[in-house]
A and B are shown apart, each in its own frame.
Chain A
């Protein structure tokens, strides 16, 4: 897939829940752009609005005000069905608890979104198999989720998220309860997916995970308050002196 400029654009996005005295504002005037090929991490304390931002970016919820564009398409103008179609074709999700369907094999889990979008079963299975092979899971394709390790399950979830022509990958604490080395493998896969042109947005409270992103933006009380500078090259680390 070729790189896409601004796969995600959020302009002055706000989200409120409830009314009157019980009204809660989860997001306030959030502006965020994510280019194809870029992985952005969203960090913030509990209740800062991270998950709300992710669900609105993925059109699982609608904003109270503001504009959300995916691949240039304004989602606020779309009907519920149009948004669902956009999600199936353009957006992949990776969740903390993998969210694989227990009754389907690894390859069936990956091919399901393609079949739901009208791809014939055999063609969908071939595409799914290619995605699994890319993630080193060709030998495990016919296994069910409960026959896979935690790391393998998350790799299947990533394959499902990037299969087809997705332009936006949304991840919520994508390494779940994996240990640091397996978690690192998952982050390498996400980065590689982004390098192939997908735009990635990852919500995490873990600074180690966030450090795999190209950019980290910080949320506080529903507002984007800060972001990291572009990553310096490794040569910047060669300044340490022996003591």
Chain B
């Protein structure tokens, strides 16, 4: 999530002060995303530089300064809302890399490595589930944020389960193919490569 777009969204409701923006940002993220005052004003300065907000004063740094969104800012916010989030990139997830590395290391039980991460991920899910358990239904922001993180972590556990099952099917470990001595065949598709 982009802080600058979150601030634009708050300003689309009407003019606001910097401190007020920081408080409303934190409330809107269920207080799970602390934002210090310095970050708020730095972001507002950049938004003003780009013509997306304007302030009452020439120098947008004081707490008495009120900000409003410009037409260009509304266009920017509208475009951001419609832009796909997190476009697919190359699979460089650290966990994936760790498992790939573990597969090539002699004396390392990959299933044990996978289990350690599975446990850690589920412990993290525990914390978000407890958070949901304590939340009243009308705190929709917190419920949605907790759900989003739980679903993301759930996807990680599914990948770990799948990796575990695939690796168990391999005939012998760790006799995995070594890096090719010759360059890859031209035209072979690189996973995640932009077209």
**Chain A residues packing against B (C-beta within 8 Å):** 43, 45, 184, 188, 191, 205-208, 210-213, 216, 218, 220, 225-229, 231-234, 236-238, 240-243
Contact = CB atoms under 8 A, between A and B. Distances in A.
Given A207-B122, A207-B154, 18 more contacts: A43-B122, A45-B165, A207-B153, A210-B125, A211-B122, A211-B126, A211-B128, A212-B133, A216-B122, A226-B115, A227-B119, A228-B123, A231-B123, A231-B126, A233-B127, A234-B134, A237-B128, A242-B33
A232 B126 CA distance: 8
19 contacts: A205-B161, A207-B121, A207-B157, A208-B129, A208-B150, A208-B154, A211-B128, A216-B119, A218-B119, A228-B122, A232-B123, A234-B127, A234-B130, A236-B127, A237-B127, A237-B131, A241-B33, A241-B34, A242-B34
B3 A243 contact: yes
B171 to A, nearest CB: 18
Describe B's contact surface by its main secondary structure.
Answer: helix
A240 B123 contact: no
A188 B17 CA distance: 41
A232 B39 contact: no
A232 B111 CA distance: 26
A242 B125 contact: no
A232 B129 CA distance: 11
Contacts of B31: 238
Contacts of A233: 127, 130
A238 B122 contact: no
Nearest to A205: B161
A208 B39 CA distance: 34
Contacts of B151: 208
Contacts of B161: 45, 205
Given A207-B125, A211-B128, A234-B127, A228 B119 contact: yes
Contact of B129 (A212, A226, A240, A242): A212
Interface of B: 3, 31-36, 39, 111, 115, 118-119, 121-123, 125-134, 150-151, 153-154, 157-158, 161, 164-165
A237 B34 CA distance: 11
Contact of B125 (A184, A208, A226): A208
Ranked nearest first, the 9 interchain pairs of A and B with the lowest CB-CB distance are A211-B125, A207-B157, A211-B129, A234-B131, A231-B126, A242-B35, A211-B126, A228-B123, A208-B154
A45 to B, nearest CB: 7
Nearest to B151: A208
A233 B134 CA distance: 11
B119 A232 contact: no
A210 B157 CA distance: 11
Contact of B133 (A45, A191, A229): A191
A210 B122 contact: yes
Contacts of A231: 123, 126-127, 130
Contacts of A212: 129, 133
Contacts of A184: 132
Contacts of A226: 115, 119
A181 to B, nearest CB: 9
B121 A232 contact: no
Contact of A240 (B3, B34, B158): B34
A169 to B, nearest CB: 18
A110 B39 CA distance: 58
Contacts of B128: 211, 237
Contacts of B119: 216, 218, 226-228
Given A211-B122, A211-B128, A240 B165 contact: no
